[in-house]
Amino acid sequence: MKKTQHLLVAAATALASALPSQAAEFQVGANTTFEVSGLLAVGVKNSEVTNIVAGDTRAPQAEWRLNDNTSRFIFSGSTVLTDGWKAIFRIESRFSSNNCPFVELEPGLYAGGKLPISTGDATGLADGDTWAGISSPYGALVFGKSTLYYLDGLCMDYFGVNGAGESYRAWDGNGLGVFNMLSQVGSNIGSIPTLGITRSQNVMRFDSVRFGGFDVTAAFTKNPGGQENLAGETSFGRPYENGGTSWLRVRYNNGAFTAAASCLNQVVQGGLNNGILGDYLNTYAPGLLKGPMDTHAVRFSAGYTLPVGLKFGVVYDSTAIDNGIAGTTLQAKRSVVEVPVRYSWGPHAVYVTYNKAGSTTNIPNSGATQMTYGYDIALAKRVFLGAFFTTLSNQANGSYAPFLSGTVLGGSAPMTGENWHQFSIDINYWF
């Protein structure tokens, strides 16, 4: 579970990374512009694990915390090449707004007098969606790190990104159903994140221009985890070069109606077998995981906004992970339905979101339910303050956990069969 939690911490840095903000633009040459933008997101939270299972002696079971909700700096720019064609780049770096990477201690208490505070696999510099490429009258082709699949359905219409799913303007990162339910598969080794990490590496990605309300995105990477090690290439009974991850998304937006369909297919490369449970991308533990955890997922969504400010939608996700039941070659497969409802008036908005995960195949009573109730207000054009209450209830064999729980960016994580709830007050300041 520790490795899974570290992967989830890195996943935090992907949230909203592919979404536009309101950048400050500078002209740095006759044909070149440079833009600076970003997000400060922080929340004060009270969380509690309930329905404690026998033998669970965790401490604490309940706690108050101040947590970052995926703050970041974004540097981007473009150079005009010819009519309709530009060279483009983006560098996104994450930081924690509520603590420092090192804490000063008295000399002798720790080597160098500093104690590092780990945020898992997040590194800070260029650890968000970072790429370079070419834009044209037909679309943009970029190369680098990109978020694949995870954010499909998420809505940020105040930045021009419509979608049928959750649409909070301020958010509690630990309570987002797009990560808690839609992007997890419950198993007997805990909750498995869909790709192990939300931001994929070594990605070639194409985003089309919009035509008739439609736009298309396609991406491919040979190695999304970046573990490019040829040693032990037959660990999975397949050569290193035989793997690959592909993602395709088609969206439609026309007035009040929005819809999308996407699919993800990952065939794990042969790679080093180091026996670490939880490193799902290129390794597995002999005798526990019987083979590569190939992933096959589809997601559909549709939403409609009424003239009175009422918006409702539905998101359906079906994800299957091969060899996902420990000790067997059985597939872990589950379906999740999300139903978000929002009502907005003036600067105010209220939300109710229902998420339901069905039982994973081969594991009875392994589903979960999540409810989120929220309110936020636009204090300014790009400043949002909100209050949210989220409950997550696992069935007896359910193993779903709040996004980032059990890490420096979240409270205690529930064990299999346990429940969790959290109240938070959060602010999002886009700049």
Q: Where are the domains of the chain?
A: 2-18+39-70+130-430
The total of other beta-carbon atoms located within 10 Å of residue 250's CB is: 15
Secondary structure of 110-179 in HEC code, one letter for each residue: CHHHEEECCCCCCCCCCCCCEEEEEEECCEEEEEEEEECCCCCCCCEHHHCECCCCCCCCCCCHHHCHHH
Residue 30 has a pLDDT of 79
Share of the chain above pLDDT 70, in %: 78
- The pLDDT of residue 55 is above 80: no
Residue 156 has a pLDDT of 85
- The pLDDT of residue 113 is above 50: no
Q: Which two tokens stand for residue 132?
A: 């370079």
Q: What is the pLDDT of residues 249-277, one digit of tens each?
A: 999 998 899 999 999 999 887 654 444 43
- The pLDDT of residue 290 is above 90: no
Q: Give the residue-averaged pLDDT of 327-344.
A: 95
Residue 70 has a pLDDT of 85
332-345/348-357 β-pairing: antiparallel
pLDDT category at 317 given cuts 50, 70, 90 is very high
- The pLDDT of residue 17 is above 50: no
Q: What is the pLDDT of residues 168-217, one digit of tens each?
A: 999 999 999 999 999 999 998 888 898 877 788 899 999 999 999 999 99
CA angle 41, 388, 173 (to 5 degrees): 40
Q: Give the residue-averaged pLDDT of 286-297.
A: 77
pLDDT category at 420 given cuts 50, 70, 90 is very high
Q: What is the pLDDT of residues 296-314, one digit of tens each?
A: 999 999 999 999 999 999 9
Q: What is the pLDDT of residues 232-254, one digit of tens each?
A: 445 556 666 778 899 999 999 98
- The pLDDT of residue 56 is above 80: no
pLDDT category at 14 given cuts 50, 70, 90 is very low
Share of the chain above pLDDT 90, in %: 57
Place of tokens 């993800």: 264
Residue 115 has a pLDDT of 47
CA atoms within 13 A on the CB side of 357: 37
Q: Give the residue, 11 or 297, on which the prediction is more confident.
A: 297
pTM of the model: 0.86
Residue 199 has a pLDDT of 84
Q: What is the pLDDT of residues 75-94, one digit of tens each?
A: 999 999 999 999 999 999 98
Residue 242 has a pLDDT of 76
The total of other beta-carbon atoms located within 10 Å of residue 380's CB is: 9
The total of other beta-carbon atoms located within 10 Å of residue 59's CB is: 7
Q: How far apart are CA 205 and CA 143, in angstroms?
A: 6
Q: How far apart are CA 146 and CA 128, in angstroms?
A: 8
Per CATH, the number for 2-18+39-70+130-430 is: 2.40.160.10
Q: How far apart are CA 338 and CA 360, in angstroms?
A: 17
- The pLDDT of residue 160 is above 70: yes
- The pLDDT of residue 226 is above 60: yes
Residue 235 has a pLDDT of 55
Residue 237 has a pLDDT of 60
139-147/130-136 β-pairing: antiparallel
Residue 1 has a pLDDT of 40
Query: For residues 122-158, b (16+ Cβ closer than 10 Å) or e, as one string?
Result: beeebbbbbbebebeeebbebebbbbbbbbbbbbbbb
Computed over every residue of the chain, the mean pLDDT equals: 83
Give the sign of the dihedral formed by CA 146, CA 148, CA 151, CA 153.
Answer: positive
